[in-house]
Chain A
Amino acid sequence: MITVNNLTKIYNGNTVLNINNLKIEKGESFGLVGNNGAGKTTFFRLILDLIKANSGEILSKDTIVAGKELWKQYTGSYLDEAFLIEFLTVEEYFNFVGKLHNMTKGDISEFLNKHADFFNDEILGQKKYIRDFSKGNQKKIGIIAAMLGNPEILILDEPFTNLDPSSQIRLKKILHDLKEEKSVTMLISSHDLMHVTEVCERIVVLEKGLIVNDLHTNENTLAQLESYFAV
């Protein structure tokens, strides 16, 4: 689904990302872990064509991502608040994104109803702008908006941070269902080793821009990761 060839990104002479070869299969749930500055967000931004690589290329469904538009139709993403339009109400935002995916108002409200549990009555029908929501609720809005329009690829940066415990558990269920029912390819980064091992079947460890480990998740993975990150 996604192929990375000889990808490098350099900021002020520092190589912040250097991935020789990486293949993510269709339907794979791919976890990305690493300390701050490891290059996780940089990698996601490159996949989303938000920054330019210094060399190499990323292919999505065998076509180049950089400068192209096609991948946007089947890729949902939420990296940070810059993905939200802060002066809109939640409904306006979902309607806007939904329309970009040619969804009708009915489709959109049906989709939102499906996630009513996750929203926990705090998000829909609130008569306030997105900028006035708490960080946690903003994150929920962004994550669910990324799922609009049945994406085949879902890219989430730190989806569990700022969420309350119940929401974390619900999110894990939602991600699990997406994978089982629609075999969505998921790319998820996280600082929380427990969550990411629960959700992802494959985990890649980044350190200073390099892939230092590529694991298939099993019962030992969490212990393995914990010992890797232990100081």
Chain B
Amino acid sequence: MIYKFLFQNKWKESLRSSIWQKNMIVNIILGILIVYFLVNFLVLGILSDKILMGIFPDEDPVIKFNGLLLYFIGIDLFIRFLGQTVPTLSIQPYLHLPVKRSSLMHYLLGRSVMNPVNYFYFVIFIPFSIKAVANIYNAPTAFLWLFMLIIIVLFDNFLITYIKRQLGSKPLIALSLGLILAGFILLDSLKVFSLQHLSEKIFTVIMLNPIYILIPIFLTSAIYYINYSFLLKNAYLENLNKNVSKKSISTANISFFNRFGIIGELINMEIRLIIRNKRPKTILYMAPFLLLYGFIFYPQEIYMNMSGMLIFVGIFISGGTMMTYGNYLISWESSYFDALLTKSFDFKKYFQAKYALLAVVTIVSYIITLPYMLFDIKLLYINTACFLFNLGFNINVVLFFALKNKKYLDLSKSAAFNYQGIGASNFIVMLPMMLLPILIYVPFSLMEMPQIGLIILSCIGILGILLYKPIINIIIKKFYIQKYEMAEGFRQH
């Protein structure tokens, strides 16, 4: 009875979530993205037996697939660590009501099982089980195989819930998880220790001997029970609000900026905003990955000959961090926007500080990624042109679109898989920044004059830098018109 009531409330909460009501266009874009990935995975699932038979011609594709399952668990745990939330606070409104604590904890854990995201992978598993497992073995084995995978997914779900409750979501843990995973892949490829082989054995044994399915069932039940007893012991308000505890505070103050008066003060404040709040901090941690983006493309001959692609990568490595942070500029400050509006300072300086911060990020990214030229000296020319384009053109685009940000941004949640506070303009802004440089460059490249294309990109960038003052003035003029609407939006949360 009580569970029915709790789940009904949760259902209402999801249906009435402000995400559905306010963000039609964002929902559509997200919907298209989800369908896109679902179709991709579905195709992968349908083709996976063919793919495996292509790689291992004389072997059983099901066993080979089983060999990947331990890696799947590792990757799944890694993604969950980044993305899965542990919403203990949602039971707060029930704690003072006559509901058994144990029921609440079962509800909390049971709820996570209901999350459809858990079963996303089954778009791959189900076609494979039909095409390969049922075909090579038989239907009951296919069912058993799928059942085993459900148990595995639940195990991952509860394990991550427990780890995150115990340790919080420290990026260091995510990093070490990633490193361990990479280590196993390395050991496998060096043939020192084969996780793949182990995985093949474990899961094939379970698949062929139904009795062994009891082992994963037991493990999953055990981790469920550990979670449950931990929650039962700790479900008190003081523990739920763990983030209020006295953490050591950072005294971030980059004295370099202090000499720039109010502009420096504003930059320092923004740096504090980034390192003291979870959501912008995740973007900071993502930055190194964006810088390493080049390693995906540069070592491969095909990409090195697709110069349009190289422009895309060039824009991304020096501008990626600037764009991901800049995309939500001013929205970052939504919780105290009223304070900014009523304090006496020149908004010119405010926007100059923003420009300076984004420029510093872009310049640093450019310098760090200079060594990419060791792959090929032409990367130096391409990336420099892209860098100038970022500095002179894209930063201004970011600043203009920042004036369209009207959604309150909750800084306390991680940025990974988080669409709270994101509007349609946050997607649209990417078009001019990423596509325009390619559209400018490619015609010249096709006419065998890539240098001209690079020179034009650079000139646009330099022009933007030279026109810095008038552009900032236009932005401020627009800001004074937009600010009421922005403030109004930021207050809604």
Contacts and interface: CB of A to CB of B under 8 A. Distances in A.
Interface string B339-377: 101111110000000000000000000000000000000
Contact of B342 (A67, A75, A128): A75
B71 interface: no
B172 interface: no
A96 B265 contact: yes
Nearest to A67: B480
B338 A100 contact: no
A84 B336 CA distance: 6
A83 B342 contact: yes
B18 to A, nearest CB: 18
Contacts of A86: 335-336
A169 B336 CA distance: 28
Contact of A97 (B341, B343, B480): B343
B104 to A, nearest CB: 27
A82 B337 contact: yes
Contacts of B346: 69
Given A73-B344, A82-B491, A96-B269, A50 B484 contact: yes
Contacts of A226: none
A219 B411 CA distance: 49
B262 A99 contact: yes
B339 A100 contact: no
B342 A89 contact: no
Contacts of A51: 484, 487-488
A184 interface: no
Nearest to A142: B339
B480 A82 contact: no
A88 B343 contact: no
Interface string A23-53: 0000000000000000000000000111110
Contacts of B341: 48-50
Interface string A73-92: 10101011111111111001
A132 B341 CA distance: 24
Interface residues of A, number: 32
A199 to B, nearest CB: 22
Contact of A83 (B272, B277, B338, B484): B338
A113 B77 CA distance: 52
A100 B272 contact: no
Contacts of A69: 344, 346
A128 B246 contact: yes
Interface string B237-262: 00000001010010000000000001
A127 interface: yes
B273 interface: yes
B109 to A, nearest CB: 29
A84 B491 CA distance: 14
B276 interface: yes
A168 B237 CA distance: 29
Contacts of B345: 72, 100
A170 interface: no
16 contacts: A49-B341, A50-B338, A72-B342, A72-B343, A72-B345, A73-B344, A82-B335, A82-B490, A85-B269, A87-B273, A87-B277, A96-B269, A97-B343, A100-B344, A128-B249, A132-B246
